[in-house]
């Protein structure tokens, strides 16, 4: 008899299918300003992908195109295989500036998307109350935006995006307007939220550390005209102590590697 010396075969990593497909998207603004040039990019289902790059590289423009808020000049975006021609119920947007209705309570702001869909008040408020509790706002349902801190207002915006149960959550630098301590807490909360909700998050940020901390994947966008210069898979264990992520060698190496890649655009 002969004994086999073959090493065990490690199964290949199976990537989840893309829910969002960006195909050769370009955007030219009036005055012949090219913001994006032939960007092609997939966003896998159930993952958080960050769009990272220097200011003015077109990150927010791409996010708004995916949201259906602005049209492409050429190319197309598909969600679950269907071409994007405008906003749709499968996408929710978390704005940088909160975008809350100042005359409405926290509860009504959070439930507003369901109100637009004609959902009965008792039902939509019950759903909204559940998500407000998830984002740490239980007990604040009857407050108004002016009675909340900036961080709390942003939590209302996040709850509003979750309430409508969209498959894709689009976030435009949502933590940039809060202090560093609140920002770190938001990042930790977002990790818990993404693990629990298993939705597809597309997150715009200019912070390398933030992108590495929260992301499954990072798409580096070059300066205008914006192009995808690199895709980075962030392989960091995300269970246990949240602070351990920032001490993990892969976190530190990734931050330094991305900084070296982006620094060339600033010289």
pTM over 0.75: yes
First vs last C-alpha separation in the chain: 66
pLDDT at 199 > cutoff 60:
yes
**pLDDT digits 0-9 by tens, 30-52:** 988 999 999 999 999 999 999 99
Model pLDDT, residue 8: 47
In 3-state terms, what secondary structure has residue 139?
Answer: coil
- Locate the DSSP E strands across 47-175: 48-52, 74-79, 82-83, 91-94, 168-172
Rounded distance between C-alpha atoms, residue 152 and residue 143, angstroms: 11
**pLDDT digits 0-9 by tens, 202-258:** 999 989 999 999 999 999 999 888 999 999 998 888 776 777 888 888 888 999 989
252: left (phi over 0), alpha (psi -120 to 50) or beta: alpha
Rounded distance between C-alpha atoms, residue 92 and residue 152, angstroms: 19
| Other residues' Cβ atoms within 10 Å of the Cβ of residue 7 | 6
Model pLDDT, residue 179: 81
Q: Choose from 8-12, 31-35, 76-80, 87-91 the range with maximum mean pLDDT.
A: 76-80
Find the helix packing angle between 180-197 and 150-163, rounded to 10°. Answer: 10
The band of 2, judged by pLDDT with boundaries at 50, 70 and 90, is very low
């Amino acid at each position: 008899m002969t004994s086999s010396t073959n090493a065990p075969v490690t199964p290949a990593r199976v990537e989840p299918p893309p829910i969002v497909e960006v195909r050769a998207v370009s955007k030219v603004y009036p005055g012949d300003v090219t913001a994006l040039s032939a960007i092609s990019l997939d966003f896998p289902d159930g993952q958080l992908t960050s769009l990272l790059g220097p200011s003015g590289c077109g990150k927010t423009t791409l996010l708004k195109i995916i949201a259906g808020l602005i049209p492409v000049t050429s190319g197309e975006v598909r969600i679950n295989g269907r071409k994007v021609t405008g906003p749709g119920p499968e996408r929710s947007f978390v704005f940088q500036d909160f975008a809350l209705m100042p005359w409405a309570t926290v509860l009504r702001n959070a439930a507003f998307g369901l109100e637009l869909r004609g959902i009965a008040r008792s039902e939509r408020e019950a759903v909204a109350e559940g998500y407000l509790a998830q984002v740490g706002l239980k007990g604040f349902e009857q407050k108004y935006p002016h009675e909340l801190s900036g961080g709390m207002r942003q939590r209302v915006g996040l709850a509003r995006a979750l309430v409508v149960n969209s498959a894709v959550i689009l976030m435009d630098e949502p933590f940039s307007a809060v202090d560093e301590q609140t920002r770190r807490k938001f990042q930790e909360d977002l990790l818990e939220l993404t693990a629990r909700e298993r939705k597809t998050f597309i997150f715009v940020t200019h912070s390398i550390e933030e992108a590495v901390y929260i992301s499954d994947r990072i798409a580096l966008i070059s300066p205008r005209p914006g192009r995808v210069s690199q895709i980075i898979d962030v392989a960091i264990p995300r269970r246990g102590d949240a602070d351990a992520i920032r001490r993990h060698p892969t976190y530190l190496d990734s931050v330094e590697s991305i900084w070296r890649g982006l620094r060339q655009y600033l010289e």
